[in-house]
Amino acid sequence: MSIGVSATRECPENHVPDLWFPDGNVIIRVGERICCVYKGFLATQSPVLSDMFSFPQPSLPIHIGLPTVTFPDAEGMSSIG
């Protein structure tokens, strides 16, 4: 039995523990912090992200093998996690 990449994905040092799901399918980066989450869940919670994910995207940057969406770091947000 082979183990898929999602089961073996390692957490980088700068991950947010509460927002790191080894089987997540998109990386969200805010400043230097990264989260591995579920694109479908984000789309159900945010009309903006739903629209963004529904349109064909130019190739997104890839981080640890997953598409990565980067947001600017707002003051105080980098203290998450």
- Residue 6 in this model has a pLDDT that exceeds 50: no
**Is residue 81 situated within a structural domain?**
no
Q: Residue 79: inside a domain, yes or no? A: no
Range of the domain at 33: 5-73
pLDDT given for residue 81 in this prediction: 54
Q: Evaluate if residue 80 carries a pLDDT over 70.
A: no
Of the two residues 1 and 37, the one the predictor is more confident about is 37
Grouping H, G, I as helix, E, B as strand and the rest as coil, residue 78 is helix
Q: What's the rounded mean pLDDT across residues 6-25?
A: 82
- How far is it, in rounded angstroms, from Cα 68 to Cα 29? 7
Residue 78 domain flag: no
Domain count, the chain: 1
What is the predicted pLDDT for the residue at 41? 95
**Tell me, what's the pLDDT at 39?**
93
User: For the residues 18-31, what does the mean pLDDT come to?
Assistant: 92
Is residue 32 situated within a structural domain? yes
Residue 80 belongs to some domain of the structure: no
The CA-to-CA distance between both ends of the chain, in Å, stands at 35
Residue 64, domain member (yes or no): yes
If you average pLDDT over residues 26-41, what whole number do you get? 92
